[in-house]
Structures are given as structure tokens and as C-alpha cells.
Chains A and B, each alone.
Chain A
Amino acid sequence: MIRKLLAFLGEYKRQTILTPIMVTGEVALELMIPFLMARIVDYGILGDGGMGYTIRVGLLMILMAVLALVFGGLSGKYAAEAGMGFAKNIRSGLFKQIQTYSFANVDKFSTATLVTRLTTDITNTQNSFMMVVRMAVRAPIMLIGATIMAVSINPQLSLIFLAAIPVLSISLYLIGKSAHPRFLDMLEKYDGLNEKVQDFIVNIRVVKAFVREQHEEKKFIADAEKVRDAQLRAEKLVILNMPIMQFTIYTSIIAIIWFGGNMVIAGTFNIGELSSFIMYILQVLISLMLISMVFIMLIISRASFSRIIEALEEEPVLNDKDSDVNLTLQDGSITFKNVNFSYNDDPNNLVLKNINFTVESGQTIGIIGGTGSSKTTLVQLIPRLYDALNGEVIVGGHHVRDYKLKTLRDQVAMVLQKNVLFTGTIKENLKWGNEQATDEEVIEAAQAAQAHDFIMAFPNGYETELGQGGVNVSGGQKQRLTIARALLKKPKVVILDDSTSAVDTATDAAIRQVFAEKLNDVTTLIIAQRITSVADADKIIVIDDGEVNGFGSHEELIKTNEIYREIYESQSKGVNDNE
């Protein structure tokens, strides 16, 4: 798992390797300092080294400390470069991977978790990486180095290390091990709480309209309590680290003073060495502490790692590897042959059943059917947003799988039912359809979608900034902008998936008129609720429960198709009575 992530080091490998090297240098120098101190005490002060020796060794110590500072500083610098570069690469890599996803992949993850993976999870990974390249190297080297130094000074007294190290490591391990599930539990409770808040914010109008503030608060408090308790349960274990650490250090110091002191009294050990010994055991135990911290950090971040990797490893359900780069759509004709479709590839759970129809290039096709009758699913197969389970979808003379996805989708413009505008000006948003479009082309598309007039009514016209998601335009205006955006592609096929539902009838009619007059060579598929939106289409497909129930012109269907007639009557009742 970790190896997979490390592949993202890329051009920052050099810094990644340099960091531990610098750390090693720093640690080696730091280890020498207590040793030199012992020489000053035992040879300079107590022995016959005298003033000159003391000053010489002292200066050497200062030099070493300064060198260690340089090494340490460099290690910090390299760690930052490596860590941030690493994070950048993962972020790019993941973002890129998500760009290759198909609709089915996006559906599987949901947008919220993809965002978390790209933000919080990567930050966690970056932090633990930096910590690891610095601490995970520093601590073991310090541990081993200090132990070697201690053994070389006094092997007998080093036996204290042998006792202290296992005691501390085992207790740290046990704490870490039992804390891990509690931390996971805490994070889970945390997610639950965040979900509640998200729910609340999205639903704020409903909450307020039904005066359910108290109710929401009760739910929130219950969750907040769970978070509080889970956090307490997790953290009260981790805080044991500190006192246990202190206890071990203190015990070791006393043992060193007692046994070492007795050796000093017996004349087999020196006072300076004794105090350097205390320094070394401090360094050893602090290293252990750091190792356990790194450990806990890694364990906590593991969830993040695996979430990132899961998203990275997600293979796009659709790919165009075997497609022909040069293949383009001949025209806007569409044929469905025995098409079945299921969102989970389950032949027993078909959403579309045995769909057959042919649309000639340039025709206008209405698609009508009840709520949940799979109208949207049907048209999504045309730009190959999903693949049919079996059967053939032929667009522009070739099977949709034979085209490069980009070629196909550039020629088949689809206006989604749940559509989104992006931060930026109106013009920038429209140019999504075609980046090279001239201002005239942009205006032309806007006019066709009946958007030009209201755009011009804004003080800044086409340069009006849209907030995220297009918050400062109304639903109907948004729909018209998304239609204009699709038209800018100059496609061979246009699919409007209930794209004028929030547009008033007069504007809706005007848009259809443009389609009929100016865009008569473009195949147009219109999913609509209103019969009027489809009545003048060349042909109308009536979908019911995933099957084609009727296919024909308005006049034919009125006569032959029961469902169509019912829909027609449900809408015409009223005004007709008055005529």
C-alpha cells in the first residue's frame, strides 16, 4: 500500500533521500556531544588535562553543535520540499485519475467522498510523510547510536537500557494497539456528526419552514455526545504515554545514579561518564517515544492512505483504448438495437429493456414518459456516459464504443438534468462548449438559447461573474445558459434532458423554434414533461418502465398510444374547455 503511494515521489526522490542523510549527520554529531562533555569532566577537570584541554574540547563541541545545526536545517528544508512535492504529485495524480472516471465511477464514490479524498486525506498523508522522513529515521539512528555510545562507555551499566527499552516499547505498543480501534471509532463518529451538519445546512429551508430547530438540535446533541465520548475513550489511552515515559526515564536515572554511583565510589567509573550516561538514556527513551508517535500517526493516517489508493486504483468503467482515433461521426443518426441496460450490470435488474429505434440525422425526437421511467438513462447511452449491458448503440454510423470518447462527446452535446455552472464569468462558462469560440459565436449560441436578453440585462453583460454553482441566476436562466453552452459545441446531436423545466412556456417555445429553424441539420432529442415541448417533434418515443411503449408522431400516438393520450389529456384539460 505504502509503496503505491511512494511512486508519487517522482522528481522529489532526491530530497526524499537527502533528508534522512542529513538527519543521520545531525544525529551522529549530537551523539558525540555528551561524550566530549564526559571528556571535559573526567580528563579536563578531574584528570590532568587542565584548562587548555577543556577549552580545546569545548571548542570542538561548539563546532559540532554548529555543524549539527546546519545538517538539521538542511534536513528540514529537504523534508519540506519532498513532503510538499509528494503531496502535490498525489493530488495531481488523484485528480487526474478522477478525470478518467466514467459516470458509473463517480456514482460509486459520490462527490462528497471524492472531495474528502482530495483534500483532508491528502493533507493527512502529507503530514505523516514529513513526519516519517524526519522522525522515522532520526529516532532509530538515535536509539542505536546512543546505545552504542553507552555500551562503549560502560557495558555493565548499559544493562539498564536492556531493561528500560523493552518495558517502554511494550507499553507504548500496547497503548498504541488498543488506542487504534478507538481512534477509528472516534473518526467514524466524527463523520456521522459531519453528515448531520451537512444535512442540516442543505435542508435549512425545510428545517426553518417546519420549525424543527429543536428536533435537529436534539439529533445533533446526541451525535456530539457520541463524538465526545469516543474522543475521551481514545485519548485517555494515549495520554498514558507521557507518565509511563516519565516513569521509565526516572527509574532509569535513579538506577544509573545508584549503580553508576557505586561504580564511581569503587573507582571503576568516572563522574563525567556517569552524567553523559544519563544524557544517552534520555536520548534513547525519547527516541522510543518518537517512534511510537510516528507509529500512532501512521495508524491514524492509514485510513487516509487506503482511501486515496482506493480512488487511485478505481479503473474507469469506460475506456476508449481500442477505439479509432480518426473515426468521426458521419452524421447525427442514432440507432438502438436490442439494448438492455442495468446500473449494476445485473441482467435481473434491468433499467432499460430491449430498446429498439432509429433516428435519422437532423430529426427532432421527443422523449416522454412518467417519473422514473428511465428516459434519462436512455439518452445517457448516446454520448456513452454509460455502456449498454448488451445490444448496440450506433451513433453517426458507428458503434459508440468505436469512437474516442472525446470525439463522440464533442459531437453529441448533452444538457444534463442536474446541471452545473462554474465560478467565472458567463462568457467563460459558455466557452466550455468551445474554448476557441469568438464573441459572435458566443452571442449567437446565447441568442439561440434565449439567454442573450437576460444576460445583457446584467450590468456587466457577458462578463457577469457567476458564483459557485451559478447562484446568482435563477433556475430557468441557468437552464438556458447550459443550453447555450452545449450549442457552442456545434454538435451533430443535441440532447436536452428536461432542460427547460424551469423555463416558462413562451421561452420554451422560442427555444424550440430556433432548434427547428436554425439547427435543422442537428439531430435533437428532447426529454420533456410537457406534451407541448415534444408535440411538434418528428417522432416521439414514449417510455414506460424502461421499455419503448410507443414511437411515432404526435398525431399517430394520440390515436394509438394510450399512455401518450393520457399524458396529453392530463395537460390539455383546462384550457381546451375554454376554447
Chain B
Amino acid sequence: MSKAANATKPARGPIGGPRAPRKPSNLWATVLRIAQYMRDDKWILFVVFVSIIVSSLANVIGISFLQVIIDDYLEPLINQPNSELMGGFVSVIFLIGWIYLIGAISTYVFNRLMVGVSTRTLYKIRIDLFQKMEALPIKYYDTHTHGDLMSLYTNDIDTMRQVLSNSVTSFITSFITVISVFIMMLVFSWQLTILVLVMLVVMLLVVKKVGGKSANYFIKQQQELGQVNGYIEEMIEGQKVVKVFSRQKRVLQDFEELNEQLRVSATWANTFANILMPIMINLSYVLYAITAMVGGVLTIMGALSLGTVIAFLQYTRTFSMPITQISQQLNAVLTALAGAERVFKVIDEKPELDEGYITMVPVVMNGDGTVNESNERTGHFAWKEVQDNGSAVLTIVRGNVVFEDVTFGYEKDKTVLNNVSLYAKPGQKIAFVGSTGAGKTTITNLINRFYDVPSGNISIDGIEINKIKKSDLRQALSMVLQDTHLFTGTVKENIRYGRLNATDEEVVAAAKLANADTFIRHLDHGYDTVLKSDGGNLSQGQRQLLAIARAAIAETPILILDEATSSIDTRTEALIQKGMDRLMEGKTSFIIAHRLSTVRSANAIMVLEHGEIIERGDHDQLIEQRGKYYQLSAGMFELS
């Protein structure tokens, strides 16, 4: 994991900042990491490697026979029939045939195997990335835009796909071809090989120069593309606002500016990338021409045979083609590696820590107040702490929540909660009211440990919550959140999300509890209506009703309702009140609402302001106090 620590180092702004596509900063480390994913396929890779060698050698050796054919058969045979030589010619042709056949088969073998390896590798990387993303803390999601995270899948892994399935084998093929051709060249004629080497140096210099320029502009292009795409995303997202404000012209103007900027840098980047290939191809023709001339002169001088020159000429073509290919694909490969690096960076992010060891288990309550662990759902739970000696201590989950001097801020020097202390006895309803930004939602973020408390202490049933395994802690809570998002899937599936093994009847019962049954039945396919992820086909209020049903079906000892009914009109709210009461029955409930009618029946109401509890008590007491709460409720009624 030391490598991981390095990879996460680059500083990031508080809100993620624009994506900065760049050159891979640690090229070989990234290549090695990709290779790690192929470990299971190492024998296949070995066969791939061997096949590539066979295929490249077949090509190279095939050409070398040109020299033999010309010098040993054709030239001597011209106008001088000789059946023995003729027989030799035939058998050489057959030999070449065999070599080529083996070459073509090897080509198929390595390509086919490599497709398998690359698809499997991508599959593994995708899953690895997803698993890591699951483990990331909420904070990560709060500080990175969704677009950034999405583009890991849509851009970065996709470029990796293109490179893995095309470029890897052609890289190796090119490499092996270059080396073996070089050896053959030396065997044929060292004089001509020197020529080739000189030309090679020139070509490499060109690649370096042009390629370098291209890479620089590519980085610029990627940055500007990021800006353009960011702007597009934002403006399309806010398209309705643009129209309401008739801002189309201005928005278009700004867009044109960014777009033109992108065009300029993209043109430069692609110009250099585009001219690289013709330059390489034609330099290789220059090399070919020089070789033909010098080789011709040498042959006339008698220093070389004609067959050698002709075979050598073929080699100069075979030699430069792979180099062209490599230079052509270099950009794609670098882009893919940069993408891979971004993917790995997320994989290396510090996952949500969970040092908790206490679990929650279903229990059977015995008459005498003791409990026994059960394997089935019983409706009762206990916290289970395994002692050093192996015995387990069971504490019944009652929902006794205590905050002691909790101070918290999302950023270091900005506290959102100050010395908050509160307790909720089992089965109580605790409500939080206060102006927006007073810290109400933060409290719920702390109870379920979306964020950890740096100072102070939160406990449930006398157990500090950081000793409880996060998954178990969260399973003890069900939440209805302020922003209700649903999943792509049917209504039924969305409700069942609260408890995956719930039966259809239980789903309907939960929907009825949340007063959602009626509108669900009015949907085209009732409970089987497919919802889109942004829930476009439902109103905000209807989505909240589904979220309440989802929480209801979870049957947890603690319930958190964060503005759960804010988009539901009060008439409907009154209708679901009974259901809500039943939902909260016997559960410790935390209710956040700005609507006082929602919180009135709470056992205790906390009035929050600037992260501090300024008043607490039940409704009557608070009204009596004539404090902030009284003002709030009075403010509400001085108008009627």
C-alpha cells in the first residue's frame, strides 16, 4: 500500500476542481499495475508472447528467402533450364508456404487469446474500481462531482479498452519485428545496416520532436475539452433556467469562446499527430530510395549480390512500418495510461475505515429478560461483542442514543456543530428545528457515521458508535433523506430496497403505510412501473412517499427522517400521519423538519442555531419558554 499512499498525494481543491487530464506521471508503475490484473492469465500471456514471436519471425524469415530464391535459383536459371535447380526452387517455395502458414495461424492465435485477456482484464478493473468506490466514505462523494466519477467509467476505462484490445499486441509485434529485422539486416549487409541506423536516428529524432509537441498540445486539448464538456454539462443541466432567463444568446457566446479555444489547441495537437505518420512513412521511403541507390552501386561494384539488395529493400519497409505504428499509437497509449492512472488513483483512495467490531444480531427475547442469539429474523436485535475468551456479550438494541459534547465541522476550521449534547431514550421522538444551515442534517450524518466525530462522543445503548461495525450500525437505522433519489427499476424494487427479502405483500403494506399505494396503483403498470433514476415520471412528493415506504419496510430500531415530508402537501401529510405514527411506534426517531406541525408531537424538540442547541423541551414547554421556538410558531400564526 505504500504505492497507494503516493498516488493519493496530489492536492485537490475542496470541490474536486476540474479534471486535469495529463500525461501519466508514473508510466511504468501504471503499466505494471495493469499487468497485475493479467496475472491469472499468465500462461495464456506466455502463449500469446510465443505466438507473437513466431508470427513476427515467420514474416521476417519469409522475406530472407527472397535472397536465396533470386541468387541461388532465378539468376542461375535465367535461360538455362536445370531440372535439379528447378526442383530446389519448388521445395523452397513450399518451405516458404509452410512458414507463412504457421505465421498466419500464430497471428490468429495471439489475437484471439489477447481479446480474451483484455476483456477479462477490463472486467476485473471495472469491478475493482466499483468495489473501491463502494468503500469510499461519503465525504469523497461530497467533494467530487458526479461527472468526474462517471467519466472514470465512460472515458478512462473506455480508452483503456481501445488500447488493450489493439495496441498491446501491435506494440509487442512491432518490437520483436524491429529487433529480428535488424539482426537479419546485419546478417545480409553491415554496410547497408549502417545506412539504416543513421536513418533510424533521424526518424527517432523526428518522432521525439513532433511527438513531444503533439503531446504538449494534447494535454492542452484535453484540458480545454474538459472545460468545454464541463460547460456543456452545466448548461444542459440548467437548460430550463437558461430558458426562463432568456440567456440563450449569452450562454451561446460563452460557449463559442470556449469552443474556439478548444478548436485551436485541438488543431495543433492533431496537426502534429497527423503529420507524424506521413513523415515516418516517407522517411522510410527516403531510406528505401537511398538503400536502392547505394545497394545498386555496391552490387555493380560486386560487393553485394542482387538477391541481398532486394531482400534488404524489403527489410527496410518491414523495419520502418512497426516504428510508424508505434509512433502512431503512442498518443492513444499515453492517454489510456493517464486514464488508467486516474482509475488507480480512485482505487487507491483511502476507503471508509471501519475499526468497529461489535455486530448486530437478531435475538430471541426470553421471558426473564435474557436473550439468545437467533438465526432468523425475530424483530429484536442485540449488539454482540465477542470477548477475548470467545464468549459473546449481548446488549439488546433499544435505541438509546446519546451525544456528548459533539463538535464537528466538514472543514477543519469551520465548525458546524458546537458542543452538542443530547439523548434520546428508546422509543422517543426527537425533533430538530432551526433555520437552514443550523446543522440539523449534520446530526444525522454523524449518527450513521457518514462522517466521524473528531471531538465528543456518540453512543447507542451505551456503546460508542465507532466500536460498532459500520454496516451493522447502519442496519440499525433507516433513513429518509432530504433529496430523494430513486433507482432505475420498478416501484416494487425501489421499495424493497429497504429489505431485500421482503415479500410482495410486505411491499404493498409498506406502501400503504406511506400512503403511496393509491398513486402507485394509478401508474401505468402499478408496482411494476419502471422508474428512471432521476424519477422524472414522479413528482418530488411522490418520490418522498416511496422513500418513506422504503424506510418503513426496513423495520429498524432507529429511524431518521430528514425533511422527509417537505415536498408532501400538508393534507397528504395529515393523511399519512397515522402511518408515520405506526412507523415510529417503538422506535427511536429523529425528525428534522421546518414545518412545526410535523414535529409537534415529539417527546423532545431541539432548536438549533449556528450549530448549537439553544432550546430544548417538548412543544408545550417550549411554547411556555417564549423563546425562539415560540417565535417560530407564532411567526407562523400571526398571519392567519
Contact = CB atoms under 8 A, between A and B. Distances in A.
Interface string B227-245: 0111011111111111111
A118 B107 contact: no
Interface in A166-205: 190, 193-205
B406 interface: no
A236 B145 contact: no
Given A201-B149, A227-B123, A532-B640, A106 B270 contact: no
A232 B123 CA distance: 11
A91 B640 contact: no
B263 A88 contact: yes
A91 to B, nearest CB: 6
B639 interface: yes
Nearest to B634: A575
B126 A99 contact: no
A37 B314 CA distance: 11
Contacts of A98: 236, 239
A45 B127 contact: no
Interface stretch (B29-37, B376-384, B386-394, B562-570): B562-570
Given A37-B313, A92-B259, A81 B286 contact: no
Contacts of B145: 468
A281 interface: no
Contacts of B345: none
A66 B286 contact: yes
A418 B161 CA distance: 37
A90 to B, nearest CB: 10
Nearest to A558: B640
Given A209-B474, A211-B474, A236 B639 contact: no
Interface stretch (B181-189, B453-461, B538-546): B538-546
Contact of A475 (B285, B475, B482, B569): B482
Interface string B462-484: 00000000110011011101100
Nearest to B77: A265
Contact of B595 (A100, A221, A530): A530
A461 B491 CA distance: 44
A563 interface: yes
A465 to B, nearest CB: 9
A215 B240 contact: no
A44 B296 contact: yes
Nearest to B146: A201
Nearest to A568: B640
A69 B283 contact: yes
Interface string A331-374: 00000000000000000000000000000000000001111100
A261 B74 contact: yes
A571 B570 contact: yes
Interface string A538-573: 000000000000000010000000010011111111
A578 B623 contact: yes
Contact of A40 (B112, B296, B566): B296
Contacts of A51: 297, 300
A119 interface: yes
Contact of B635 (A250, A416, A506, A554): A506
Contacts of B632: 504-506
Contacts of B281: 30, 72
Interface in A224-283: 224-225, 227-229, 231-232, 235-236, 239-240, 242-243, 246-247, 250-251, 253-254, 257-258, 261, 264-265, 267, 271-272, 274-275, 278-279, 282
B146 A575 contact: no
B282 A69 contact: yes
A469 B296 contact: no
B542 A371 contact: yes
Interface residues of B, number: 179
Interface in A30-45: 30, 33, 36-37, 40-41, 44-45
A275 B481 contact: no
Contact of B436 (A111, A433, A477): A477
A240 B108 contact: yes
A225 B119 CA distance: 10
B562 to A, nearest CB: 10
A378 interface: no
B112 A257 contact: no
A111 B78 CA distance: 75
Contacts of A274: 74
A50 interface: yes
B69 interface: yes
Majority secondary structure of chain A interface residues (helix, strand, loop or mixed): helix
B289 interface: yes
A487 interface: no
Contacts of B228: 91
A229 B242 CA distance: 42
B627 to A, nearest CB: 13
B255 interface: yes
Contacts of B488: 195-196, 199
A514 interface: no
B568 A571 contact: no
Nearest to A243: B108
Contacts of B275: 72-73, 76-77
Contacts of A569: 574
Given A209-B448, A506-B632, A261 B567 contact: no
A471 B138 contact: no
Contacts of B289: 33, 36-37, 58, 61-62, 64-65
Contact of B62 (A95, A253, A529): A253
Contacts of B497: 206, 210, 212
B485 interface: yes
B191 to A, nearest CB: 15
A58 B141 contact: no
A441 interface: no
Contacts of B238: 420, 422
Nearest to B623: A578
B245 A246 contact: no
Contact of A236 (B112, B146, B269, B619): B112
A99 B251 contact: yes
Interface in B64-116: 66, 69-70, 73-75, 77-79, 81, 86, 89, 93, 96-97, 100-101, 103-105, 107-108, 111-112, 114-116
Contact of A194 (B78, B154, B234, B567): B154
Interface string A488-512: 0100000000100111111101000
B639 A536 contact: yes
A246 B103 contact: yes
A321 interface: no
Nearest to B595: A530
9 contacts: A88-B260, A102-B243, A242-B108, A243-B104, A261-B89, A265-B79, A275-B310, A432-B247, A433-B245
Leading 6 A-B pairs by shortest Cβ distance = A72-B278, A58-B293, A476-B436, A76-B274, A371-B541, A61-B289
